[in-house]
Every structure is written in C-alpha cells, then in structure tokens.
Chain A
Amino acid sequence: MTRHTTRAAYGTGAVLLTSALALTGCGSGFSGDEGGSSSDGLTSSDKPLTVLIGSSGDAETAAVQSALDAWSKESGTEVSLQVASDLSQELSQGFAAGEPADLFYLSTDQIAGFASNGSLKAYGDELTNKDDFYPSLVENFTIDDTFYCAPKDFSTLALVINSTMWADAGLTDADLPKTWDDLAEVAKKLTTPEHVGLAFGAEYQRVGTFMAQAGGGLVKDGAAIADDDANVTALEYVKSHLVDGTFAFAKDVGAGWGGEALGKQSAAMVIEGNWITGAMQNDFSDVEYTVAELPEGPGGKGTLQFTNCWGMAADSPNQQAALDLVEYLTSADSQLAFSKAFGPMPSIKSAADEWTADNEALEPFLAGADYAQFPPNQNGASDVIADFNAQLESLKTADPAQILSSVQSNLEAVVK
C-alpha cells in the first residue's frame, strides 16, 4: 500500500513538474502583455504580410489574389492570401496564439469583441482616403469614437422580382410597390398554388427592413428601442401576411435563403442583397429578375445594409505596409474590380458614379445606401440577434409584442 502511495506521489509530482515546465514554456512563447489598440504609431518592418479572408467562392478568391499580386509587385512587399473555412474561429486562434494574420475580413458583429480585448489596431484615422468612405459605413466600424478599420465594400437589401411571373400576373413597371399596401396587393396577385408572392429569410437581417420602414429598429442613439411601437406594427404586418399565405419564410417554401427561393421559382419576389446576382448567375441563369427599391412603410423608406472591413491586427509586425495595402484595396479601381467579380458595392463615394454606369439594373441597391440602417455592432449584440432570429422563426403563431419585449430586455443588457 505504502509503496503504491509513494509511487503515486512521485507520479503526481512528475506530471505536475512536466505541466509546470510546459506552462512556463507556453507562457514565454506568447507576447500577450505588450501592445494595445492605441492609434499612434504603426509598426514597420520588411516582414511579409498575410491576408485572411472568408471567401464566397472562387470568383472572390481570384479577385482578391490578383489585387494582392498587383500590389505586391508595386510595393515589393511579399503578401500571401489565406482563405478561411471558418473565419471567426481562425481569427480567434490567431489572436490567442499571438500570431494573427496582418489583415483580415472583419464583420460588424465581431468588431466590438475583438476591439475590447485589444486584438485590433485602430488605423482608420491614418487612412489618406478616410473622407471618401460613406459616413454610415464608417459609423459601423467606429467604437467609442475610434474609427477602427476601412470598410471594404457594402451591400443593401432590395426587392428582387421574377420578371416572368410579374408579367404573367399582368403587372407592369408602374405597379412596382411604393407602400406596404401596394406590396400586400402585388404579393397577393403573385401568389399561386405553385409559388408565394414574397419570400425572405426568417431573420432580423431581412425582417428588419420592415422595422426600418415602420420607423423602428433595434438601437437608436445608443439606446435599445426593440419594443418600440413601430417595430410591433412592422411585425404585425409581416405576421398577418404570413398567415394569409402571400408572404412566406424561405425555409417554408423549401429554400435555404431568398435567392434559392427565387431561383427555384417557389417565390415571385424576395428581399435580398447584392450577393444574389452572383448566385443567380451561377446557379439559376435561366431565371430573369429585376431589382426594385423596397416600399415605404409608415416611417418612410428603410432597408438594412451589411458591410465588412479590413481588420488589422495589433500584433502585426508590419502595419505600415498593411495600411498601404488597405488603401490600395479600397481604391476605386480595386473596388470596382471586386464589384465586377463578386457583386458588392464600393464603400467610397468617388466610385459611385462609375458603379452605377456599369450596373444600371442594380441601381436600387445603391439608392438604399441613403436611408439604410445597419444591425447593431455592440459587443454581444450578435447573440441578441441570434436569439431574436430564433423567435422570429415562429412569428406566424407568436405574439410580436412578446417577442420584441424579450429582445428589448436582452438588448438592454448589451447596449450600455
């Protein structure tokens, strides 16, 4: 017995010793204590750059790669592209290990989390083309009055209509819905046993357009307004048409998202963003469609916009070069090339005219930029929205006011 106990003691001791060694080994490997998110001073060295993106497909990867190659040739700094299969996880791993990619796609719902733990370099004010970005996009990436990163492009939501079904129902351009009543009316005309009038995802990222049109939203002037009467009106409107069968959630017509519902012809109209153009071209090229602005609600025009920025790591050893690369990637030429390759709109005002000239049919998307709301970017807001989305799935049978009051209490906890 005693012998075993001694052995066990030795064993424990050995394991503890090993772990202590390993722990100290790990500890010295990290460089977690230094650095910060202050905007003064960029690091500079001749180290090569790494760019990490979450790509929508080959077209996007190829476009980014060719832009990086062009910049690399021009500047003489080596740069390599990594495509993440799970961007947020790979970012987290990079930050935890102290060796993140120098530049990366960063979404609005993640910026607050990474900014608060000091992973990000706030370089917005150093940009020479800073004033060219749309102010509403800059606001997306501004936390506590610090402009963190350059918006790389943006998309808005609009009404995408199947032209054939539209004509078959005897509708013309003059019938494009201007108000909620118009929308209900055309949706009713377009509903047949084979397809519904209007389909959209069961999520705030689509249903939120109605809240914006009603004059509501989730956050206004830094305060949670989820249980505002305008939002109740919006959800009541959506619910009533879900019930009468003229509107439907995409999943209820057997589609993963709006674009699929339009492509499979199970919906005559969908609410989707710029990215739908790529999907229609690749997967459903035989379906003709037109894009129109979303109708006005009781609170006027409203839509949602989505954007990503070029995040820069605080631990990057060559931030000066990274900044130069960002300026190159957000220039009008690069952004127009990206737009041609995979659909989003340039984030700078100076590229707007040329974009409209190239994409006349998609002009309603850009028009939305004037009045678009964006999803809240506070730390923890993505959780609240995920919970809201979970509740929206059963909107057809649920009480809108009750859903919104639970969203309000969750939102109040993160918006301070």
Chain B
Amino acid sequence: MSTQVSPRRVGAAGLRRGEAAAGWLFTAPVIVILGVFLLVPVLMALWVSVSDWAGRGSPLSGSVSFVGADNYSAVLADGGLATKDFGTALRNNAWYVLLVVPLQTALALFLAVLVNRAMLRGRGFFRTAYYFPSVTSSVAITVLWMFLFSASGAVNDVLSWFGLHGPNWFNDPRGILHLILGSESGPSALTQGGMLGISWWDWLSGPSVAMSAYILMAVFTTSGTFMLIFLAGLQNLGADVDEAAMVDGANGWQRFWRITLPQLRPTLFTVLTLGLIGCWQVFDQIYTGTQGAPSKTTLTPAFLSYQTAFKNQEWGQGAAIAFILFVIIVVFTLIQRWVLRDRPVSRRRIRAYQVTAKDGAA
C-alpha cells in the first residue's frame, strides 16, 4: 500500500484539511450515540462473558475477575444442564430457521409476483392486505395465535370439519419427524451418540408441534415485509428483457426462472440475510407465548440467554450464549453470501449458446 501514495494526499493534508474536521464534527453525534448505545454495551457484554460477574454493581469493579473461557465451556462442553439446554435451544432454532426461511422467502416472492401484475384488479387492496400482519405488533399476533391454536380453538374446529382431530398445539412437545416416523424411541445408533448433550435421535426430532405453530406464525407475519422488498425489486426490472424473451418464445414459467429470478439475485440476498438473522434471533414471540414450554421444545438461544442471565443470575453464561449466537449468525450469513455469489456463466451454458450460434450459421 505504501507504494501507492497518491498525489492527492498533499491536497488532503493542505487545502481540504478543514473539511475533514467539519466532517468529523458532523458525524460525531452518530459516533457518540452508536458508541454509547451499541459499541460500549457490546464490549461490556464481551467482558461479562469471560468474567465471573454475578449481577451486582458494575462489571468493571475490582471484585470481578477474569475466568477465561469458563462460561463458554459451561455452555458448550461441560455436558451439564447448561450444555443440554443450549443444545436443545440450538436444535429448536435450527429447525425453525430451516423451515421458516425457505417458506417465507418462497411465499413472499409468490405474493410479490402476484401483486406486481399489471392486470390484477384491486392491486392496492391486496398489497395492503398481505402487508398487514407485518405492521401488527408481534405480541398481539402471538396472543391471537395462542387462542387460534388452543386445544379447543378455531384451528382445531376447522380441522374437525374434515374429520381431523387437531393436536393440543402449544402443549404438544412431540417432534414432527418423530410423529411421521411413528416412533418414540429411535435406533440405538442414533440414541447413543450426540452433540451438546442431545442425542442424534433428538436432534432429528424435527420441530415440535408447538414450534410448528410458531413457524406458521413467522411465515404468516414476515412474508408481507419481504413481499414488499421483492415488489420493489420487481418494479426495478426493465420490461425489455422480458419482452425479448417473449419474442424468443419463452413461456411464463421459463421467463420467471431464467429471466426474472436471476435479475432478482441482490434482492434475494437481502431477503435471505434478513430472514436468517431474524429467525436466529427469535425472542419476543417465545417470551410472550410459551417461554420455552412444552418440554423446552420452544426454547431458543436468544430466550435462553435472557433466562440464564436475568432469572438464574448466570450473567457470564447468558452473555456467552449471546456471543455464540452472534458467531452462528455471521457464519450462516457468510455461507449464504458464498452460495449466492456472482458466478461466471458455466461451461455447459456457454456450450448451449455456441451450438445455437453454429446452427444459425449453417
């Protein structure tokens, strides 16, 4: 870098120096606000996660000492109750992410394409209607959901019209995959080993019936928001490419997959990233709803972190869980970014075009 000293540097040091000072002055309020309300708390939490602070007085006082990775190992390696709880929370949330993110993205895209069509009558109405769940407070929706999905609630009533006997949704801890397989206990190959104090069989249980109700709720509430983002993306696309494809004889299905979707890649990246982050941080629904019950199958790392710190006075472990969650989110976002990266056109595709070119020449 030192070899690339640009001649403009002289200018920066001389003539434009005042501007830099003014720039700092103007950005200072934001830097101070972000520092005090974001950076300092994060740094303090980082310190708490490696200290034995017990929740009284300042974490920076002399009586608090450094304990290294003790809190992290209690959560990740000890094999005690803390590890088991974290494993359970991670299992629940992983299933939640695995189902919510694809479902809400697909539904949002579908709705966006629907309301984007120029032909649709009452577009404004549908756009508002689909967006409505997103602007309602999640607490209100959770309470509504508890009523809808209670043992004698509306959902089970509707199911009974079709002769189905609905489960006691928010009180049913049975895993969906276990239910589909129809067995309570798995093969010993799966029940013997495990990770974070949870056997492989339990990792593979799928979301519990209670968690599934939350999954439906998340899809219901967030697809409206993401529909809006997709809609903005769709309206930015020029009609000419689409028309060109139409002239080439592509049908609607092909145009969607080959023309529209590839152009939406940046929007898709935004939606998936926001979805992933939001899903890993799910807290308020759990806090207002089931608080981890039944049988800890709706426990999530974010709620567990709160519970560990505020209810059980294990502040270090609570902070450690928060940072592990942070790492998980960053890793998932990076993976996703790598999967959705801009790739050069594959050889196979190029060859396809070459063939047509040759045909044209002949």
Residue numbers of A with Cβ under 8 A of B are 1-3, 5, 7, 10-11, 14-15, 18-19, 22-23, 26-27, 29-33, 88-89, 92, 95-96, 98, 110, 113-114, 116-119, 251-252, 254, 379-380, 382-384, 387, 390-391, 393-394, 397, 410, 413
Contact = CB atoms under 8 A, between A and B. Distances in A.
Interface of B: 1-2, 4-6, 8-9, 12, 20, 24, 28, 31-32, 34-36, 39-40, 43-44, 54-58, 60-63, 80-81, 84-85, 150-152, 168, 171, 173, 184, 293-296, 309-313
Contacts of B34: 15
Nearest to B312: A383
B108 to A, nearest CB: 34
B295 A18 contact: no
Nearest to B150: A254
A308 B245 CA distance: 74
Contacts of A410: 80-81
A393 B294 contact: yes
A390 to B, nearest CB: 4
A287 B215 CA distance: 39
Nearest to B12: A3
B57 A384 contact: no
Given A14-B31, A19-B43, A88-B311, A390 B293 contact: yes
Given A29-B58, A98-B58, 12 more contacts: A2-B4, A14-B28, A18-B31, A27-B58, A27-B60, A30-B58, A92-B313, A387-B296, A390-B295, A393-B173, A393-B294, A397-B184
Given A2-B9, A23-B40, A18 B32 contact: yes
Interface centre among B44, B58, B294 (most CB of A within 10 A): B58
A-B complex: 7 closest residue pairs judged by Cβ atoms: A32-B57, A117-B54, A30-B58, A113-B313, A32-B61, A18-B35, A254-B151
B266 to A, nearest CB: 25
Contact of A116 (B8, B54, B62): B54
Given A23-B60, A32-B61, A33-B62, A1 B295 contact: no
A33 B62 CA distance: 7
Nearest to B309: A92
State the main secondary structure of chain A at its contact with B: helix
A2 B184 contact: no
Contacts of A114: 313
B296 A390 contact: yes
A73 to B, nearest CB: 34
Contacts of B313: 92, 110, 113-114, 116-117, 379
A251 B168 contact: yes
A26 to B, nearest CB: 7
16 contacts: A3-B12, A18-B31, A27-B58, A32-B61, A95-B57, A96-B57, A116-B54, A117-B55, A251-B171, A252-B168, A254-B151, A254-B152, A387-B296, A390-B296, A394-B173, A413-B81
Given A32-B57, A88-B310, A92-B310, A22 B81 contact: no
Nearest to B57: A32
A113 B308 CA distance: 12
A393 B9 CA distance: 70
Contact of B81 (A95, A384, A393): A384
A72 B258 CA distance: 78
B150 to A, nearest CB: 7
B295 A32 contact: no
